[in-house]
Amino acid sequence: MRIGNVSGLKPVTPYEFWVRVEIEEESRLPRRMIQIDDMVKLSFNYERFKEIKAYGVVVEIETCWDREGMRGFEEALVTSNKSFALPIYLAKVIVTRLEPFISVPPPVGTPVYLVEENETDEVYGFGPLKEKKRALPVGILLNGGVAYLDLAYILGDNGAHINISGVSGVAAKTSYATFLLYSLLETGKKLSREDASLRSLANSRAIIFNVKGEGLLFLDEWNTEWKNNEKTERVKEWKSMFEKMGLEAKPFEKVSYYVPSMKGDEKKPDVYYRTYGVKIFGWDILDIIRLDLLELMFDPEELSKNVNIQLAVSALSDTLWNNYKSLLDEAEEELPRLRDEGRYDFDMESLRDDDKIRLYLMVSGREPSDLLREKGIPPTFEDLISLLRDEEFRARLSAEEELEDKTIKAMARRLRAARKLDIDRVWKRLDLSCFGVLNEYKPPEYRLNWDNSEDGCGMITVIDIAKLRYRAQTFVVGAVLKEVLHSKESALRPEPVFIFLDELNKYAPRMGGGPLGAIFRDIAERGRSFKIIMIGAEQTASEVDYRVITQASTVVVGHQKVAELKKDEYAHLIGAQREKASTLLQGELIVDQPFLRVPMTIRFPMTPWATREDSHQPRNSIPSLKEFFS
């Protein structure tokens, strides 16, 4: 459908031009009005070249009276029918594609047409992505066509990481992050059927941190908005959006949920709504030493400012690590003998180092806690504080690391304070009871089994940190990131791991991120090589660590405040898109990737899985009394 002509009233370049929209004679309104993000096409030729087809996206629209120097009273005359002036509608188009790619501007006056749904692929160059099996459906464009992103910019081949920003409640960041994950997993399955080399994507793992209420603890259950309104137009539209994208509309499958324990009761999960199918997570002293998590128990800001405390923590970690290594050496030496003695009966070589120690503690015949204490490893949080109170230990630490005694005491005081901040809820005491011959090694129940799908655990692991206090939250996030990084570093497996974390600015702030900030920077910069993909979300991208945010190849912007949109982090939005971002509705987002010349405005459907604790419908719900009697 023709909308107008290339205008010569503004400069025309090979990469951008303005369209003068055709006006109806009588109404003086455009015959076919266009809007920001509409897609257009045109074709032209110069004698030297063959026909050139150009595609583009409208990024700005302006209208004014088509009369130079028109003043207010003249306009009043026109609007009161006492004079006449023609309005002019001009739309700025950014050229997204030239076919063939010859950098010449379209001639002024060239007719410009609106792109219909079936030609969308031409505008953004989705065709080659589909051919290379790298097209990830991410939403629906304004003209009804499907929007795709390039998997190569998500999975680390060309770039990695996704960042989603937008104000809370309107931008639907969490819903969209889960939608992207769903699309990644489902598209992975589909693509692996077409091309075996893409199987790794189908075997992806995802870790989701639940930071608000219990909203993300029902991803495997239907959203009541879907189930209760199945015959409504809204749900039909959502279904059709899923169909267009080639995705099946259903809740996630294979999801495992981990929640912290109640304070003071290690065995009782701290849940209110999700009272079934949850496991308690935590880390014991061996995990803490192995993953070097001690520093995460301290105030990151103080660690950044107080070098003495920083040194003391580092020294304590080193000491514990040395003790750990010494115990590991002993375990590796003793375990073959203990097997010969019939204490256990399986091959322990495949076990991780910390599991070897656990096995050793189980079968050594000694009280595990005593053995640990003997080796200078505190089995509990209280033991760690006691260890720091021990004068002999302090003296040794002072001597070895040249620390002042008062610094070590200060470190002990801070650890005591950390206990009040829920660190004790995630520090698990070693539970290593063993009777008779051990035929099989079972890892601790509180271990996050994010990487295992064989025993029924899911591809998605949801970790609830909403009910923990800030210090414990940062500890959990840091511990999980380190765990994943260690795991991927030790075994270069091709399966990607997606990690979704909301409120990224809290964990990787622009200023003073401490040890956790360093972990995020490490993941952002090196994670791509190990296929660790961060999906970070935050209200304001300008408050996130610069090195973290700039590593995200895929940037998503939802409804955002005008003041925030003026920051450099949103410079990728072209023309009126910055202003538009402040008016986006729920379910509308602007998505950008390096292969796109113009970010895309997309809509995505309401998710069929619940993203709020009050909107879920269990798969096998208990029938109501009415249903029961019918």
Q: Can you tell me whether residue 573 is helix, strand or coil?
A: coil
Lookup: tokens for 440: 């099989």
Q: Is 547 in the site for another protein (CB under 8 A)?
A: no
Provide, rounded to whole angstroms, the least separation between the CB of residue 104 and another protein: 20
Provide, rounded to whole angstroms, the least separation between the CB of residue 30 and another protein: 16
Q: DSSP secondary structure string, 107-135?
A: PTT-EEEEPPGGGHHHHHTHHHHHHTT-E
Q: How far is 84 from 20, CA to CA, in rounded Å? A: 20
Q: Which of 2, 28, 130, 132 binds another protein (CB under 8 A)?
A: 28
Whether the CB-CB separation of 253 and 220 falls below 8 Å is answered with: yes
Q: Is 276 in the site for another protein (CB under 8 A)?
A: no
Q: Is 64 in the site for another protein (CB under 8 A)?
A: no
Q: Which of 83, 232, 490, 621 binds another protein (CB under 8 A)?
A: 83
Cβ proximity to another protein: between 35 and 83 the closer is 83
Q: How far is 17 from 9, CA to CA, in rounded Å? A: 10
Q: Is 84 in the site for another protein (CB under 8 A)?
A: yes
Lookup: tokens for 147: 């929007």
Cβ proximity to another protein: between 72 and 100 the closer is 72
Number of residues that bind another protein (CB under 8 A): 16
Q: Is 98 in the site for another protein (CB under 8 A)?
A: no
Provide, rounded to whole angstroms, the least separation between the CB of residue 73 and another protein: 5
CA angle 180, 186, 192 (to 5 degrees): 130
Cβ proximity to another protein: between 64 and 86 the closer is 86
Cβ proximity to another protein: between 74 and 383 the closer is 74
Q: Can you tell me whether residue 560 is helix, strand or coil?
A: coil
Whether the CB-CB separation of 582 and 559 falls below 8 Å is answered with: yes
CA angle 461, 466, 471 (to 5 degrees): 105
CA angle 297, 301, 303 (to 5 degrees): 60
The beta strand positions in 396-531, using DSSP E, are 460-464, 497-501
Q: Is 82 in the site for another protein (CB under 8 A)?
A: yes
Q: Phi, psi (5° rounding) for residue 112?
A: -120, 135
Q: How far is 470 from 478, CA to CA, in rounded Å? A: 12
Q: Which stretch binds another protein (CB under 8 A): 9-17, 74-82, 369-377, 588-596?
A: 74-82
Q: How far is 352 from 336, CA to CA, in rounded Å? A: 16
Cβ proximity to another protein: between 68 and 392 the closer is 68
CA atoms within 13 A on the CB side of 539: 8
Q: Which stretch binds another protein (CB under 8 A): 79-87, 309-317, 402-410, 544-552?
A: 79-87
Provide, rounded to whole angstroms, the least separation between the CB of residue 128 and another protein: 41
Cβ proximity to another protein: between 81 and 439 the closer is 81
DSSP 260: P
Q: How far is 141 from 589, CA to CA, in rounded Å? A: 10
Cβ proximity to another protein: between 77 and 98 the closer is 77
Q: Which of 33, 76, 562, 585 binds another protein (CB under 8 A)?
A: 76
Q: Is 69 in the site for another protein (CB under 8 A)?
A: no
- The reply to whether omega before 14 is within 30° of 0 (cis) is no
Cβ proximity to another protein: between 74 and 334 the closer is 74
Cβ proximity to another protein: between 26 and 230 the closer is 26
Provide, rounded to whole angstroms, the least separation between the CB of residue 23 and another protein: 11
Q: Is 347 in the site for another protein (CB under 8 A)?
A: no
Q: Is 80 in the site for another protein (CB under 8 A)?
A: yes
Cβ proximity to another protein: between 68 and 454 the closer is 68
Q: Is 31 in the site for another protein (CB under 8 A)?
A: no
Q: Which stretch binds another protein (CB under 8 A): 4-12, 20-28, 132-140, 545-553?
A: 20-28
Q: Is 81 in the site for another protein (CB under 8 A)?
A: yes
Closest CA relative to residue 92, chosen from 1, 22, 10, 24:
10
Cβ atoms < 10 Å from Cβ of 465: 25
Q: Is 628 in the site for another protein (CB under 8 A)?
A: no
Cβ proximity to another protein: between 65 and 441 the closer is 65
Q: Which of 1, 25, 267, 402 binds another protein (CB under 8 A)?
A: 25
Q: Is 9 in the site for another protein (CB under 8 A)?
A: no
Q: Is 47 in the site for another protein (CB under 8 A)?
A: no
Full strand arrangement of the beta sheet holding 552-557: 146-150, 135-141, 600-603, 588-592, 552-557, 160-165, 532-538, 497-501, 205-210, 460-464, 255-259, 278-280
Q: Is 118 in the site for another protein (CB under 8 A)?
A: no
Q: Which of 22, 31, 53, 85 binds another protein (CB under 8 A)?
A: 85
Q: Is 325 in the site for another protein (CB under 8 A)?
A: no
Cβ proximity to another protein: between 76 and 102 the closer is 76
Number of H helices, E strands in the chain: 23, 22
Residues that bind another protein (CB under 8 A): 25-26, 28, 67, 73-74, 76-78, 80-86
